[in-house]
Amino acid sequence: MPWARGLGFAVPVSTVLGALARFREARSHDGHRLGVSGMTYLLDERIAREHKLSQASGVLLLEVVPGSPAARASLRVQDIIVSIDGTTVGAATDISERLTNASAEGIDVTFLRGSRLGRAKVVL
């Protein structure tokens, strides 16, 4: 198209990371599916210290699929997952890894909602 010369398009990195997280989620092992997409998110140092969190990052939820296990457990967009079954989650790829070891009873998810630490039992 000669009329489109010099034209470029940009895609926000959050869109790309969200799409990658959804792709990885769709390919999770053993058929376990949490029903979220998210991206690695640096934790506020004060809040991490207050809750005695050892990691520098968690997973900020960008999407919670309606009717999914995460939605049924009351997880919301903008929650930050910091651990699953007591094991630190510092990046979006960690969620898929934790799901491979999930039991039939579900997983315990620890998350930050604002400055409050919450816990939810997610039945997959």
pTM assigned to the model? 0.75
Q: How far apart are CA 122 and CA 124, in angstroms?
A: 6
96 vs 90, which has greater pLDDT?
90
Q: Domain coordinates of the chain in residue numbers?
A: 35-122
Q: Domain 35-122 carries which CATH code?
A: 2.30.42.10
Q: How far apart are CA 6 and CA 11, in angstroms?
A: 17
Residue 100 has pLDDT above 90, yes or no: no
Give burial (CB, 10 Å; 0-12/13-18/19+) of 117.
middle
Q: What is the pLDDT of residues 4-60, one digit of tens each?
A: 566 666 778 777 777 777 666 554 444 567 899 889 999 999 999 999 999 999 999
Angstrom CA distances, 104 to 10, 86, 118, 121, stand at 42, 17, 22, 12
Contacts of 53 (CB under 8 A, 6+ apart): 43, 47, 82
CA dihedral over 17, 95, 76, 45, signed as positive or negative? negative
% of residues, the chain, pLDDT over 70: 83
Q: How far apart are CA 124 and CA 70, in angstroms?
A: 8
Q: How far apart are CA 64 and CA 13, in angstroms?
A: 19
